[in-house]
Amino acid sequence: YFVKVAWAWTFWLLLPFIAVTTYQFAESKFLYGPTKSVLTVLRRLSALLVGTAVWYVCTGLFIYIENLTGMCSTSGKLGEPRRLYATKQECHQDNGIWSGFDISGHCFLLSYCAMMIVEEVAVLEGLSIDQNSKLRVVVNGLFVSLCFLTMIWVFMFLCTAVYFHDFSQKLLGVLTGLSAWYGTYRFWYLKPFSPGLPLPNIPLSSKKYGYSR
């Protein structure tokens, strides 16, 4: 159940982290005024809306594929007419077992969430905050929480890889998650009309900033 709401955990931790770090970065590095800094924050927060759309569309697609390819096995009495089930939910309501091609939503979501967190926390490489500032305590607290959450996602991913689904279902789940990450942070977010990267137009692999400590 913790993994089923993985996007909610990721969303509510990234929301304050992106807002605080983007505002601080816009003011200190680009010398933006309050209005332009707020607009920059809103633009970057739209990445969470994109992530929500990716989660919703992909999980809905996985459910559709499983319903389309599945069949229901029930322990009905002999002589009773065989009922046709359109969805997995209908099958489970009659205590049946649904067998369809179940692409691993956990592998998709955990890989996507972990990669998104890694991309977003990279903003700390270019952020300067006063050593004794309360803001620094808040940012560090959020950073540690996101790191801990990423560790949980990696552990849950390993559990899913060992105990659930077959290889093709897990592979397609991971490929979907990585494709969603690559299509956003490595392609679309480099374009002008996009939420943008945590550090403007600089891919993670080429960032040269240093987080002052």
Which residue in 165, 181, 185, 189 is the catalytic one? 165
DSSP structure string for 1-16: -TTTTHHHHHHHHHHH
Burial of 118 (0-12, 13-18, 19+ CB in 10 A): middle
SS3 97: strand
Instruction: For residue 92, indicate whether it is catalytic.
Output: no
DSSP structure string for 134-191: HHHHHHHHHHHHHHHHHHHHHHHHHHHHHHSS-HHHHHHHHHHHHHHHHHHHTTGGGS
Which residue in 106, 117, 157, 195 is the catalytic one? 106
Instruction: For residue 106, indicate whether it is catalytic.
Output: yes
Instruction: Report CA Rg, the chain.
Output: 21
Q: CA nearest 194: which of 44, 54, 10?
A: 44
Catalytic residues: 106, 165
